[in-house]
Structure 1
Amino acid sequence: MAFSDIYRHPFFSCIIVAWGAFCLPGAFGALNGMGAAGQVDATVSNAANAIVFGVLAVGAFVAGPLVNYLGVKTSFIIGTIGYSPYAASFYVNLHTGNNWFVIFGSVLLGLSAFMLWTASSAIFLGYPQEHHKGKAISMKFYFQHIGGSLGGIISLALNAKGNTRGHVSDATYYAFITIMCLALPAAFFVSPPEKVRRTDGTPVKIQPFASWKQEARSWWACLSDKRILILLPYLFYYQFDLSYMWGFNAAYHSVRARALMSFLFYLVGPAIGGALTGLFFDAKRWTRRQKARVAAIFLVVYSLGVWFFGVGVEYAYDKRPADDVIDWTQPVFGKSLVLFILYGLLENSNVLLIYYLIGSFTSDVNRLTSYAGLVNGIGSVGTVIAFVLGAVDVQLKGQLWANVACFLAAVPGLLYVAWNVTNPGEDEGAPSGTLTPQSVTYEEKETELRGVEVPPLTA
């Protein structure tokens, strides 16, 4: 097979996206997964992450039209630039106390992240065929979390003697900065949508950029979509938990224990469980609606159990003396380790399910881009609020109960959308390719907004 054929295959670009996820969000997650971005106190990292997700939240709401204007390849390249300065800023802050570089690095990362996530989502949701989307989603997040677990291994190896509360070694920051720099060269190999060739011969649906006015109207159609409105509480919640989880790790554990927990947080649940989830999502014996229902019910039941367990652990640890640091040599560490692994699976399951649901809304790359921007924007609003709670020193117990409240508020909307899912062109029990009234109606709405007259729907 010639390289040109490989280059045009949908999964070639998905692999590039997965590599970017490994080097960028993966390393970012590993650095923050240790708690406090590897530092002693979480105040600076909480403020920095509030800035990151604040910029991401604002940018993500305009990301859809912007990525459609620039193209997914150019946008993806731009999205790889801002991660390494963010990691470097914490190294500088650790040694000099310089805060302006942290602010600059956080703003730059936020600008890069909304481009990266939106372009990535358009690629792994829009390039593959319908029955391959589950594998594409799980592959992206599998590599992302393998990157997080590898970062945990590196941190663990470099901080294995750190049995007290403190900061990570300088070499840890060097390693993360290097990994983050490896994404940019690979980004130039992403195939533009018009050059992608699926094995069944179907094209990647994409409409050329017409005007900012039409893009804005198209974006508004996505925002006003009933499914998005119903999912708003869940979109707000699905990344809200990270601030508490990372703060929990930093507050109670030694440096090497934090590194070990960060490693297993991304390995056991996300990397292993995520791969199995991808296989389940692509299983042909069930309809997308049936799979969405099973996944949503599992997530709700699992989340209730994990948060109940987490509340018990948090209240027990809150009674410990402030200078009583939990190291991996202590029996109580087993409780921390199990809980953090469960947290890792919980966080990953939320992400996989939301993208699986969004992938059912349409197969058009332009609209997937807008949907992805909205998902990231709304999710980032929740993340900002969560990190602000940490930055203003709200007790971990308060942050935990905020997570529980957000989860409970999100359950009805999640179940409603999962219960009424359809494939683009597939209804429950209908063969692939059968148009449904729901999908045709939304296509009509979108086409009208782009200024094209739509013939009436006939039987």
Structure 2
Amino acid sequence: MPGVLTTQRPVEEGERLPLPKGRLLRYNSPLAQVFLIGLVCFCCPGMFNALSGLGGGGQLNHTTIDKANTALYACFAIFGIIGGAAYNLFGPRNTLLLGALTYPLYAASFLYYNHNHIEAFPVIAGTLLGIGAGFLWAAQGAIITSYPSPERRGTYISLFWCLYNLGGVFGGLFPFSFNYHRGSNAASVNDGTYIAFMAFMLLGTALTLLILPPNKIIRDDGSMATNFTFSSVTKEGKEILKLFINWKMLLVVPAAWTSNFFYTYQFNNVNGVLFTLRTQGFNNIFYWSARMIGSAAIGCFLDFGFASCRKRGLTGVLVVFVLGTAIWGGGLANQLRYKDGKWQDLIDFKDGRPFMGPFLLFFSYGLLDAMFQSLVYWIMGALATNDSQILSRYVGFYNGVQSAGAAVAWQLDMHKTPLITQLIVNWALMMVSCPLLVLLLFLAVKD
């Protein structure tokens, strides 16, 4: 394959190799591979996010997606942890392919539900997606944290998050444009919306075939990115069990739990309750745009800040803590306007002033989410430098815990937990996780 650097013998970790001259972007460079995994996630999880961000998965009745996503995240909690082992057993390409195949099936289940209103297919598809997402995100996390050099890790993580969130931005155009002329009382988005999601998810699945093996990734200085060797089932089983008594991972648990917990509240009970269907799509565009801005901002700071590595991490946690306090405080003020969870007159993006306040709040939620998650990924990358096997397990553990939190959140919503309670729990979880991240930085991250 043109542009791929090959050797006739194994490359030793830290060894410098001659690189082709005159190429701005090599296919086997960390930048090219991170960009490619960003495109995969643009098409698969990015479109899934746009679908979920509609509130109720584009259905007026939220019960079906509550059940489907409970099944999804319950399985994700298990297979997120197993996903790290799958990466080490099968390699990134096969792990990503197995995971990506489940995304178009999920979108197809809601197309089916639009006509038959039978919940079984979406719930089964959600279950399978939970398995697939565990594989895909473990491989994604290992790639974006182990391939870049330490001084560029934050930039590459932000590049990935920008591409991934661009999928949500682009995906938000589908429900906005396809449902623009439909009335505010429509029961669901139209078939074209789901078909468009499926088409991009299938494209993302095909792109996974272009991912290179880890031992072919060469950094710009000629060094091998990571010394990857295929593992064994026995070894991976032992290493997974060790994660549950690893004090570093235990300090990450509250941050992991909250990182997907707030989506249910934000998507179903802010975007899904306050706005018309077409405005939900419009809001999605800006929610995922805000995530791009947030990840780019904190990624650049974490790489190019004037202070030492540890001090940059500590400052990042402080920024997230202050911003989170302000944004969730604004969310509380907004929630007090509809304590019973009912909003009489749905807001449209053409309504002017009544639209701007809730819209800016939803935008801010996206900004905070990206900054928080990018920061946690950067901290995990700093714990294990460039060892993709260790990082795949760390990221798998993180994904498993965050998915368990999400499963609980969807159940809370399905059982009609008061919205004010959901908001306060979300706020408290984020505030508790920040001091523990500070402790982790002090104890485990070296300058």
TM-score, structure 2 as length reference: 0.90
Higher deviation after alignment, 166-175 or 332-341: 166-175
What is the aligned partner in structure 2 of residue 447 from structure 1? none
What is the aligned partner in structure 1 of residue 287 from structure 2? 265
Q: Write out the 4+ residue segments of structure 1 that deviate beyond 4 Å after TM superposition.
A: 319-322
What is the aligned partner in structure 2 of residue 113 from structure 1? 133
Higher deviation after alignment, 211-220 or 102-111: 211-220
Cα 1:321–1:102 change in 2 (3 A) is: closer
Q: Does the aligned pair in 2 maintain the 1:152–1:259 contact within 8 Å?
A: yes
- Report sequence identity in percent: 27
In the TM superposition, residue 202 of structure 1 has moved relative to its aligned partner by: 2.2
Q: Separation in 1 of the partners of 2:48 and 2:147?
A: 26
In the TM superposition, residue 245 of structure 1 has moved relative to its aligned partner by: 0.3
**Which of 77, 80, 90 is matched with 1:70 structurally?**
90
In the TM superposition, residue 246 of structure 1 has moved relative to its aligned partner by: 0.5
What is the aligned partner in structure 1 of residue 8 from structure 2? none
What is the aligned partner in structure 1 of residue 395 from structure 2? 372
**Which of 389, 393, 398 is matched with 2:416 structurally?**
393
What is the aligned partner in structure 2 of residue 158 from structure 1? 178
Q: Separation in 2 of the partners of 1:321 and 1:222?
A: 43
What is the aligned partner in structure 2 of residue 100 from structure 1? 120
What is the aligned partner in structure 2 of residue 409 from structure 1? 432
What is the aligned partner in structure 2 of residue 355 from structure 1? 377
In the TM superposition, residue 170 of structure 1 has moved relative to its aligned partner by: 1.6
What is the aligned partner in structure 1 of residue 9 from structure 2? none
Cα 1:210–1:24 change in 2 (3 A) is: closer
In the TM superposition, residue 321 of structure 1 has moved relative to its aligned partner by: 6.1
Q: Separation in 1 of the partners of 2:219 and 2:240?
A: 27
Q: Does the aligned pair in 2 maintain the 1:76–1:115 contact within 8 Å?
A: yes
Q: Separation in 2 of the partners of 1:115 and 1:236?
A: 18
How far does the alpha carbon of each residue in 1:256-284 deviate from its partner, in whole angstroms, 9 at most, with x for none? Answer: 111111111111x2112322222222216
Q: Separation in 1 of the partners of 2:50 and 2:31?
A: 26
Letter in 1 for 2:408: I
Q: Does the aligned pair in 1 maintain the 2:293–2:367 contact within 8 Å?
A: no
**Which of 142, 165, 177 is matched with 2:162 structurally?**
142
What is the aligned partner in structure 1 of residue 296 from structure 2? 275
Q: Separation in 1 of the partners of 2:389 and 2:342?
A: 54
Letter in 1 for 2:310: R
Q: Separation in 1 of the partners of 2:173 and 2:444?
A: 39
Q: Is 2:367 the counterpart of 1:345?
A: yes
Letter in 1 for 2:272: A
Q: Separation in 2 of the partners of 1:143 and 1:225?
A: 32
Higher deviation after alignment, 20-29 or 167-176: 167-176
**Which of 322, 325, 334 is matched with 1:313 structurally?**
334
What is the aligned partner in structure 2 of residue 20 from structure 1? 40
Higher deviation after alignment, 91-100 or 351-360: 91-100
How far does the alpha carbon of each residue in 1:40-78 deviate from its partner, in whole angstroms, 9 at most, with x for none? Answer: 111111111111111110111222222211112211121
Q: Separation in 2 of the partners of 1:38 and 1:284?
A: 41
**Which of 192, 205, 210 is matched with 2:213 structurally?**
192
In the TM superposition, residue 215 of structure 1 has moved relative to its aligned partner by: 2.2
The 3-state SS of whatever aligns with 1:160 is: coil
Cα 1:67–1:385 change in 2 (3 A) is: same
How far does the alpha carbon of each residue in 1:295-330 deviate from its partner, in whole angstroms, 9 at most, with x for none? Answer: 100000110111111011011133696542222233
CA RMSD of superposed structures (Å): 1.8
What is the aligned partner in structure 1 of residue 234 from structure 2? 213
Q: Separation in 1 of the partners of 2:28 and 2:159?
A: 18
Cα 1:213–1:30 change in 2 (3 A) is: same
How far does the alpha carbon of each residue in 1:235-259 deviate from its partner, in whole angstroms, 9 at most, with x for none? Answer: 1112111000001211121111111
In the TM superposition, residue 24 of structure 1 has moved relative to its aligned partner by: 0.9
How far does the alpha carbon of each residue in 1:432-456 deviate from its partner, in whole angstroms, 9 at most, with x for none? Answer: xxxxxxxxxxxxxxxxxxxxxxxxx
**Which of 274, 286, 290 is matched with 2:307 structurally?**
286
How far does the alpha carbon of each residue in 1:152-184 deviate from its partner, in whole angstroms, 9 at most, with x for none? Answer: 122211122245143212211111111111112
How far does the alpha carbon of each residue in 1:2-51 deviate from its partner, in whole angstroms, 9 at most, with x for none? Answer: 52252321222111100011001110111111111111111111111111
Letter in 2 for 1:381: A
In the TM superposition, residue 377 of structure 1 has moved relative to its aligned partner by: 0.3
Once the two structures are superposed, the pairs formed by residues 441-456 of structure 1 within 5 Å of their partners are none
Letter in 2 for 1:145: N
Letter in 2 for 1:408: M
Q: Separation in 1 of the partners of 2:55 and 2:134?
A: 23
Cα 1:159–1:381 change in 2 (3 A) is: same
Q: Does the aligned pair in 2 maintain the 1:327–1:333 contact within 8 Å?
A: yes
Letter in 2 for 1:3: G
The 3-state SS of whatever aligns with 1:205 is: coil
Q: Separation in 2 of the partners of 1:354 and 1:321?
A: 35
Q: Does the aligned pair in 2 maintain the 1:292–1:421 contact within 8 Å?
A: no
Cα 1:211–1:154 change in 2 (3 A) is: closer
Q: Separation in 2 of the partners of 1:39 and 1:174?
A: 15
- Figure out how many residues of one structure are paired with residues of the other and give that number: 423
Q: Is 2:102 the counterpart of 1:58?
A: no
Letter in 2 for 1:355: Y
The 3-state SS of whatever aligns with 1:188 is: helix
Higher deviation after alignment, 94-103 or 115-124: 94-103
TM-score, structure 1 as length reference: 0.88
Q: Separation in 2 of the partners of 1:400 and 1:320?
A: 12
Q: Is 2:114 the counterpart of 1:91?
A: no
How far does the alpha carbon of each residue in 1:196-215 deviate from its partner, in whole angstroms, 9 at most, with x for none? Answer: 11122222333533532322
Q: Separation in 2 of the partners of 1:308 and 1:366?
A: 40
What is the aligned partner in structure 2 of residue 122 from structure 1? 142
The 3-state SS of whatever aligns with 1:328 is: coil
What is the aligned partner in structure 2 of residue 296 from structure 1? 317
What is the aligned partner in structure 1 of residue 65 from structure 2? 45
